[in-house]
A and B are shown apart, each in its own frame.
Chain A
């Protein structure tokens, strides 16, 4: 992995990523870039290569060609798609969270409180619900004080009300800690409201841009069908920036 120069807000940049499994080309010439304070969402149908792309950016898998460069000593917080704790392993939520490093109890309690699950701290990992598990996994990623959060379907197994709340929370965290977020999602309508940029992936980048742009893009409508797309409620959020009348982002000066 190459290093980016330090005086930039770019955290990670991927150029021309291509990956083939046997005969099947999973990723074809993908570019992406994540900046500090930015939320970038990968959407696309099942088997579109979203998880593969994330695994490559994490360094878990090597690309056949293309390059990944990242900020020097980039601290990454990762939330995996699945976590299966075997019933033979007794593990409390607090102990699970401490596996990521040495945190004291107060920091862990604070983090769980922020994610609205303070009561889980002494529960066994095998006994908590799917939605609670997602929040615990997010807590593990957050406890590393990440500059970049990588989330693989963070709202999986969470009920509808909880999903909106979880995305709002991710949005809030990104703004508060000024960290970049790269996430994979299926929840189109929910993601649209909590992301700065969307990449619509189906082995290649079908379209990308602001959520409002993408949702009207023919490639996107083609991929997900116009009927689904129509049901998507798009609203413009403004946690880190504002838009002018033409829709362009107003640069913010003097904000820390």
Chain B
């Protein structure tokens, strides 16, 4: 155990995973409260298209994922404001078409051999110092923004018009929240991959719900559950030789079910 902590790749993986888990708590809580999980899926899937575009244009892969996710977030925010068809249908179309398009484009650029599985399910143990830096910078930015706008975001989540009348700029807040989700997803692809990232955003808050009496308690508990899942998942993956991303998600799911079926205290 102690030896593991002195190995670089394990340490990088641990710090990256924990940084993500800490911001995923509060950010994921908003996704749960606002019922935006399908939105998160769509953004995550479209990130694969971002990678493909980055490869084709030969730009920095991390940067191209971030930029394309941000553009997708803005587009979705616009579509959400003036829905032409039901939002869930629209998200369903976009989520799968961008995923399919991303894989097709990736297959066409066969000059560059890329590890598709790593993008789909994560490759936390291959994380390098540059990746780690991106995760830490984005996590810090997301945490700072959420902290600053917490009360307003919460107020707009509870009742949009009431928040607006009390002076909150709800459209701007919605856009900011979507951008924060996009950024977080963009940097965490290597950690759990596009297919699993939403689960890491949603399962910890869902598990934390029954333990919390206030929104803040739920966010903090979700962060703790996320961190516990990351640590346990990493250890399981390392000793049982299974993929890390799925291991983390499995641990989080087990915590969710444990808490879900744990008898409620009587009031």
Q: Does A24 contact B (CB under 8 A)?
A: no
- Looking at the assembled complex, report how far the CB atom of B30 sits from the nearest CB atom of chain A, in whole angstroms: 10
Taken together as a complex, chains A and B put the C-alpha atoms of A98 and B261 apart, in Å, by: 32
User: In the complex, which of the residues A59, A76, A95 contacts B215, with contact meaning CB atoms closer than 8 Å?
Assistant: A95
Flag A99-124 by CB within 8 Å of B: 1 or 0 each. Answer: 11100000000000000000000001
Q: Which residues of A contact B157 (CB under 8 A)?
A: 89
Closest to A79 in B: B162
Q: Which residues of A contact B33 (CB under 8 A)?
A: 86, 88-89
Q: Which residues of A contact B206 (CB under 8 A)?
A: 88
Flag A49-76 by CB within 8 Å of B: 1 or 0 each. Answer: 0000000001110000000000000001
Chain A interface mostly helix, strand, loop or mixed?
loop
Q: Does B166 contact A (CB under 8 A)?
A: yes
The answer to whether A92 and B162 touch (CB under 8 A), given A86-B33, A99-B154, A99-B155, is no
Which residues 159-177 of B have a CB within 8 angstroms of A? 159, 161-166
- Cross-chain contact B165 with A76 (CB below 8 angstroms): yes
- Cross-chain contact B162 with A89 (CB below 8 angstroms): no
- Looking at the assembled complex, report how far the CB atom of B96 sits from the nearest CB atom of chain A, in whole angstroms: 26
Q: Does A128 contact B (CB under 8 A)?
A: no
Taken together as a complex, chains A and B put the C-alpha atoms of A83 and B162 apart, in Å, by: 10
Q: Does A78 contact B (CB under 8 A)?
A: yes
Q: Which residues of A contact B165 (CB under 8 A)?
A: 58-60, 76, 78
Flag B209-238 by CB within 8 Å of A: 1 or 0 each. Answer: 100111101100000000000000000000
Q: Which residues of A contact B166 (CB under 8 A)?
A: 78, 100-101, 144
Q: Does B126 contact A (CB under 8 A)?
A: no
Q: Does A140 contact B (CB under 8 A)?
A: yes
Taken together as a complex, chains A and B put the C-alpha atoms of A99 and B157 apart, in Å, by: 11
Q: Does B151 contact A (CB under 8 A)?
A: yes
Q: Does A85 contact B (CB under 8 A)?
A: yes
User: In the complex, which of the residues B159, B161, B217 contacts A90, with contact meaning CB atoms closer than 8 Å?
Assistant: B217
Closest to A98 in B: B151
- Cross-chain contact A140 with B214 (CB below 8 angstroms): no
User: In the complex, which of the residues B32, B159, B162, B214 contacts A88, with contact meaning CB atoms closer than 8 Å?
Assistant: B32
Closest to A78 in B: B165
- Cross-chain contact B215 with A89 (CB below 8 angstroms): yes
Q: Does B145 contact A (CB under 8 A)?
A: no
Taken together as a complex, chains A and B put the C-alpha atoms of A101 and B168 apart, in Å, by: 11
Taken together as a complex, chains A and B put the C-alpha atoms of A147 and B206 apart, in Å, by: 41
Q: Does A91 contact B (CB under 8 A)?
A: yes
- Cross-chain contact A90 with B212 (CB below 8 angstroms): yes
Flag A25-68 by CB within 8 Å of B: 1 or 0 each. Answer: 00000000000000000000000000000000011100000000
Q: Which residues of A contact B212 (CB under 8 A)?
A: 90
Q: Which residues of A contact B215 (CB under 8 A)?
A: 89-91, 95
Closest to B210 in A: A90
Taken together as a complex, chains A and B put the C-alpha atoms of A96 and B214 apart, in Å, by: 10
The answer to whether A99 and B158 touch (CB under 8 A), given A86-B35, A90-B209, A144-B166, is yes
- Looking at the assembled complex, report how far the CB atom of B266 sits from the nearest CB atom of chain A, in whole angstroms: 14
Q: Which residues of A contact B151 (CB under 8 A)?
A: 98-99
Q: Which residues of B contact A96 (CB under 8 A)?
A: 158
Chain A to chain B contacts (Cβ below 8 Å), 5 pairs: A60-B161, A83-B159, A90-B215, A95-B215, A99-B155
**Which B positions have Cβ atoms within 8 angstroms of A?**
32-33, 35, 151, 154-155, 157-159, 161-166, 206, 209, 212-215, 217-218
